[in-house]
Chain A
Amino acid sequence: MDRKPGVYLCEGCGIAEAVSVDDLEQVASGELKVPACKRHAAFCSEEGVALIAKDIESGEVNQPIIVACSPRVMTDRFTFPDAQVIRANLREQVIWTQPPGEEDTQALAADNLRMAVAQAKNSDPPVPHGEGGASRKLLVVGGGVSGLTAAREAARMGVEVILVEKGSALGGWARKWSRTIPHRPPYRDPQPNGIGDLIAAVEADPAVTVMTGALVTRTAGGPGDFTVTLSQGGKETSERVGAIVVATGWRGYDIARHEYLGYGTSPDIVTDIEFEELLANGGIKRKSDGAVPSNLAFIIPGDSERMPYSSGVSDRVAIKQALQVIEAVPDAMVYVIYEDLRAHGTAEEFYRQGQEAGIIFQKGRVKSVAADLTVTLDDDLLGQEVPLSGLDMVVLSTGMVPNSTNVDLSPAEEGADQLADDIDPAAPVKVARGNGEDEAEAAETSGNGAAENGAAEEGGEPALPGGPILNLQYRQGPHLPILAHGFADSHFICFPYETRRSGIYTCGPVRRAMTIADSQQDAQGAVLKAIQAMRAADASTALHPRVGDLSFPEFGLDICTKCRRCTVECPFGAIDEQDDGYPVLNATRCRRCGTCMGACPVRTISFKNYSAQMVADMIKAVEVPDEFEEKPRILVFACENDAYPALDMAGINRHRISPYIRIVPVRCLGSVTMLWISTALECGYDGVMLMGCKTGDDYQCHFVKGSGIAQERMAKVGETLKSLALEEERVQVEEVSIADSGRVAELLNSFAGKIDEIGLNPFKGF
């Protein structure tokens, strides 16, 4: 398709008062020779939009270059079917940060126009990578409450489901439970366990194929077209599915690791899991002599090492079980020993019910549980050490360890390193240093206690036991990525289901410890995301965060050197290596961040509307003044998700920013190639700044690894600069958050100051 650019110069919002639109028109028509160039007092008005639409309809223009406000606003109005809209930001990032009428302001506006035209020249409308035909079948792994709920909910949406359970029966832990924690008013009494009905409903559902005693032994492909190998009774079958919900649940924490709790020293010291099975199977009896206990202590250890597995579920379970004891043995003396009683939300009502029923809650630190069942604790509230003697039974809360691996399997040979935690839970909290009130001097102090208790040993926790659940045929390894303590990875605050494995969604206690009611809700969410993934695969569009994006990376294999960097660096494992060493894209896994593009040393990976060439041309489009003008030019690559909005908001707040800055938005810092930096320096730019999201612990990158990879790459840029006899300080990488609207201005102005100190780029003019 021929590119037919048209420039639309908006005069509104004070643009015409701050810069000469005549001069801009001259740049568009004269210098850049764009055939169509129009002006309007406000292109976002009905009249303005109609003007653009008319040109598109007439076939005169298919690349409207709207030179007006930020691409973040008026998006709905400036969307035209069959046209590729390019936006040049003259409002937020020029006239709102620059003094009106100045020569430098005009130069900045003209450069933004030039960059937009260069962008248009390198941009084609994306075409879908696929032709539909995505599978609408869902694989659910795990037949406990979460998996059963997922299967049932998916079936209700008209989706065919294969439910794979490694055990011999459905129902998971819940099948062994008596009653459950209340989650509906009056929030006071243990509720009936509905697992039987749920199992029956799933088994009766014609849309669900249940496979018990089965494992997933291999998973290849991507959303819409996964090929999974299922093994059942020694027989392997292959299925094509569109998405996968992983609901592998949890297992009990090995409480015997804490010797002081005495587990194993007496048959009457049991875990809450064992106790629950007693409740479900006809009553509470001591294992030692079958007698009904009448003095019981429930211990919720506050041991911080174990707490992440507990998260308040254990506390509520203890209350529930204690209530059931009192119900069965009204005269029983029942104690719940805790450090912080975590009965969140409406569970406070449950706690009150427990108190009213006569459970004694004791805040204290358990020091030991003896074989004769004497519990010694520091009773915080009495302020003395108490031996709690005469008990018939001691019940220990265990906590829920996520099944992010299959512990029944031997560890996979490859990919063990994949199971290193991504987030260090003991990472230090940032604190101010010194007596000054200068926040700039913020430093990080170590969370000393955490390091001492071993949670933050070098290299994190030992690798998780067991083999992969899905055995993913991904370059990045067979496992699902995990966060601290083995919980399945996700942007767990804003986008709880987004993992690094497109089309694969985890739910239930594998994501974090949760109750049955919570798990059911979680399963519903995961099913919706899985359905969206199948729809997106069918439509060839991207998943979160670039939802709906049709573009995808293409590989120019003619010059590919098989360096494999793209396959290694892709955060989503979207690129495989073929036997001949060339990369091949699994398009439906791809999230379109462009990290592969940034990785490629020979610039042969490109999107139809985003490429190494495109940005290089945008860099070159800027008019760099010669050394005699003494006006530097600084190039900024800004992450479009966070840094770019922050720069817009700097404009909204009318912060002044150095006029020498030229900003190129990038999909992710991971897409920035070293070649852009060398291009910029060769073109005479005096400095380059990369603005991306926070990396490492508590990463904020929407593509998880993109900004981190960029930092790694740029760590080596200093050497390159030195070899060119350029100062290392000319290239800077900054972590910028979306809330940095004030800080970006300071950062850029101080960088401009630093460039001024260093002096102009000696290559200018060459």
Chain B
Amino acid sequence: MSEGRPRSQTIAVIGAGIAGVTAAVEVAETGYDVVLLEKGPSLGGRVTRLNRYFPKLCHPTCGLEINYRRIKENPRLKVITMAEVQGVSGSRGNYSLTVKTRPRYVNANCTACGACSEVAETEVTDPFNYGLSRVKAAYLPHEHAFPMRFVVAPEVIGTPEAEKIKAACKYGAVDLDEVEETFELSAGAVIWATGWRPYDAAKIEVYGYKDCPDIINNVELERLANHDGPTGGRILRPSDGEPAKKVAFIQCAGSRDINHLPYCSMICCLASLKHAAYLREQYADAEVDIYYIDIRAHDKMSAFYDRIRNDPQVNFIKSKPGHIVAGEDGRPLVCGERTIEREIYRNPYDLVVLATGMVPSLGANFTAPADLEKDEYGFVLPSVADDGGQFSAGVASGPIDVALSTQSATAAALKAIQAVRAG
């Protein structure tokens, strides 16, 4: 099947989070053609939804802005959004990717003027905010969206409102007839940068994620802390909108647990330390308890751990809580044993944040080609075969942080280039 095709020098990068964007830009800037495929309507993946990075507490959009500029200025790099890879066949030098695009209902004529949004009335769940807020059915994914192009929510398609939205656009950009399409893409090498999703906290039934609105997960907290999130950056209790000042962080919510994720997700400790910093920056009287098994301050992060640890209003409790329940007043109660003191506790909080781990997005049911090696968790292993043409970057390759993701993406770019050079 693949033998007849001419060898391709193009490199396909699947997923446009920080790893995919980095890999694609690095490939293009070395003089090779690259196609960057993104499932969502805009680039940036998980990191664009983060408020800040540890340990510098800087904003992810800062680095993304530079990367987007590099993309805009590089004719070798082609971006396709709303595109999901359904399968890959072939071998190094001539892979064929089956790509399905979902309709955005907005074409390239869009200027992002916002007229469509003005006439839209229906509000849909805002996927960017993990459903913590609602957004008009014609929307810009977020303020830093790249490409800066609107989306019409499928919910209104077929309704008179959709026609109204279409009519509001002066540039013929709203195309209600868009349908799912499938096409084949040829590539000489493939970089998997499919990233991750947070572990479904509802599966840890005893932690009450579904039972109490004030038990949230760590990615949701990032949105609450973000200036363009549902609360404008104020960390408020979802139940009553009151400031969340007494907050518990539950480490290893899912990770390091053979009933859930057997591996350590690596980032959650540092993320909670960072969240403690958010809270302390917002509220002078904030009190933070971090429940942990081990604080795994990897890399150069131990200094950051020390900085947070020296704050008297941040307490570290070595304990994996047994369960979290809603108390009589509705506030979440964290119950367990303080291991060092050997004390049984029931501690009430304004907000409980479950430090959920990372699950590779590339599902187990995905039919991968023969030369793609995955481990039992679904992480794509770096190819060690001499004739390999598929590589992985970022969290698709293992539970790693952003610094390691950009490192792995740059390395994957080199390996992919070597693969297409070898043919």
Let me know if chains A and B touch directly in the complex, using CB atoms closer than 8 Å.
yes
Interface presence of B184 (CB below 8 A): no
Interface presence of B9 (CB below 8 A): no
The winner among A76, A426, A435, A738 for most chain B CB atoms within 10 A is A738
Q: A439-B282, A738-B59 are in contact. Are A347 and B264 (CB under 8 A)?
A: yes
Interface presence of B1 (CB below 8 A): no
CB contacts (< 8 Å) of A442 on chain B: these are 281
CB contacts (< 8 Å) of B399 on chain A: these are 344-346
A437 to B72, CA, bound (A): 41
Interface presence of A447 (CB below 8 A): yes
Contact pattern, A 718-749, Cβ under 8 Å of B = 1, otherwise 0: 00000000000000000001111111000000
CB–CB A547/B70 < 8 A: yes
CB contacts (< 8 Å) of B67 on chain A: these are 494
CB contacts (< 8 Å) of B404 on chain A: these are 518
CB–CB A528/B414 < 8 A: yes
CB contacts (< 8 Å) of B102 on chain A: these are none
A338 to B411, CA, bound (A): 33
Q: How many residues of B contact A (CB 8 A)?
A: 102
Q: A345-B400, A448-B310, A496-B403 are in contact. Are A383 and B341 (CB under 8 A)?
A: yes
Q: A344-B296, A496-B406, A700-B56 are in contact. Are A449 and B66 (CB under 8 A)?
A: no
Q: Which of B33-41, B195-203, B207-215, B299-307 contacts A (4 or more CB under 8 A)?
A: B299-307
CB–CB A307/B297 < 8 A: yes
CB–CB B58/A348 < 8 A: no
Contact with A450, one of B233, B297, B310 (Cβ below 8 angstroms) = B310
Interface presence of A645 (CB below 8 A): yes
A450 to B381, CA, bound (A): 39
Shortest Cβ distance from residue A125 to the other chain B in the assembled complex, whole angstroms: 15
Shortest Cβ distance from residue B53 to the other chain A in the assembled complex, whole angstroms: 5
CB contacts (< 8 Å) of A158 on chain B: these are 421
Report B103-156 residues with CB < 8 Å from chain A CB: 109, 111-113, 115, 140, 143-144, 148
CB–CB B410/A738 < 8 A: no
Contact with A493, one of B109, B111, B379, B403 (Cβ below 8 angstroms) = B403
Give A76's nearest chain B residue, CB to CB: B72
Contact pattern, B 66-106, Cβ under 8 Å of A = 1, otherwise 0: 11011011100000000000000000000000000000000
CB–CB B58/A429 < 8 A: no
Q: A342-B297, A548-B74 are in contact. Are A430 and B281 (CB under 8 A)?
A: yes
Q: How many residues of A contact B (CB 8 A)?
A: 111
Interface presence of A27 (CB below 8 A): no
CB contacts (< 8 Å) of A344 on chain B: these are 264, 266, 296, 298, 399
CB–CB A522/B300 < 8 A: no
Contact with A496, one of B61, B111, B296, B410 (Cβ below 8 angstroms) = B410
Contact with A737, one of B58, B408, B411 (Cβ below 8 angstroms) = B58
Interface presence of B370 (CB below 8 A): no
Contact with A380, one of B73, B282, B318, B403 (Cβ below 8 angstroms) = B318
CB contacts (< 8 Å) of A75 on chain B: these are 69, 72-73
Give B308's nearest chain A residue, CB to CB: A429
CB–CB B113/A13 < 8 A: yes
A28 to B373, CA, bound (A): 62
Q: A494-B63, A525-B410 are in contact. Are A432 and B421 (CB under 8 A)?
A: no
Shortest Cβ distance from residue A678 to the other chain B in the assembled complex, whole angstroms: 31
Q: A76-B72, A641-B65, A700-B56 are in contact. Are A349 and B307 (CB under 8 A)?
A: no
Q: Which of B24-32, B158-166, B328-336 contacts A (4 or more CB under 8 A)?
A: B24-32
Contact with A642, one of B56, B62, B310 (Cβ below 8 angstroms) = B62
Interface presence of A713 (CB below 8 A): no
Give B413's nearest chain A residue, CB to CB: A528
Give A698's nearest chain B residue, CB to CB: B56
A392 to B28, CA, bound (A): 57
CB contacts (< 8 Å) of A76 on chain B: these are 72
A221 to B97, CA, bound (A): 45
Give B398's nearest chain A residue, CB to CB: A345
Report B172-202 residues with CB < 8 Å from chain A CB: none
Give A361's nearest chain B residue, CB to CB: B294
Give A436's nearest chain B residue, CB to CB: B284
Q: How many A-B Cβ pairs are below 8 Å?
A: 294
The winner among A158, A185, A494, A495 for most chain B CB atoms within 10 A is A494
CB–CB B31/A535 < 8 A: yes
The winner among B61, B411, B413, B417 for most chain A CB atoms within 10 A is B411
Q: A12-B113, A45-B171, A492-B403 are in contact. Are A431 and B281 (CB under 8 A)?
A: yes
A487 to B302, CA, bound (A): 14
Contact with A447, one of B113, B232, B311, B410 (Cβ below 8 angstroms) = B311
A433 to B310, CA, bound (A): 16
A427 to B56, CA, bound (A): 11
CB–CB A532/B29 < 8 A: yes
Q: A524-B414, A641-B62, A741-B143 are in contact. Are A426 and B306 (CB under 8 A)?
A: yes
A311 to B301, CA, bound (A): 8
A463 to B74, CA, bound (A): 42
CB contacts (< 8 Å) of A642 on chain B: these are 62, 65
CB–CB A741/B227 < 8 A: yes
A545 to B25, CA, bound (A): 12
A525 to B407, CA, bound (A): 6
CB contacts (< 8 Å) of A449 on chain B: these are 306, 309-310
Report A317-355 residues with CB < 8 Å from chain B CB: 338, 340-349, 352
A96 to B296, CA, bound (A): 46
Name 9 extra pairs, CB < 8 A, besides A346-B379, A435-B284, A485-B300.
Answer: A75-B69, A158-B421, A304-B305, A429-B307, A449-B306, A494-B66, A547-B73, A693-B62, A739-B61
Q: Which residues from chain A sit less than 8 Å from chain B, CB to CB?
A: 12-14, 41-42, 44-45, 69, 72-76, 79, 153, 156-158, 184-187, 304, 307-308, 310-312, 338, 340-349, 352, 363, 380-381, 383, 425-437, 439, 442, 445, 447-450, 455, 483-485, 487, 491-497, 512-513, 518, 521-522, 524-525, 527-529, 531-532, 535, 544-545, 547-548, 641-642, 645, 649, 652-653, 693-694, 698, 700, 702, 737-743
Pick 23 A–B contacts, CB within 8 A, sort by A: A157-B417, A185-B376, A187-B375, A307-B297, A308-B302, A308-B303, A344-B264, A344-B266, A346-B399, A348-B256, A425-B306, A429-B281, A430-B280, A491-B63, A495-B66, A522-B407, A525-B414, A535-B31, A547-B29, A652-B112, A739-B51, A739-B226, A742-B232
What 9 pairs across the A-B complex have the smallest Cβ distances?
A494-B63, A425-B303, A525-B410, A524-B411, A307-B302, A13-B113, A449-B310, A75-B72, A528-B414
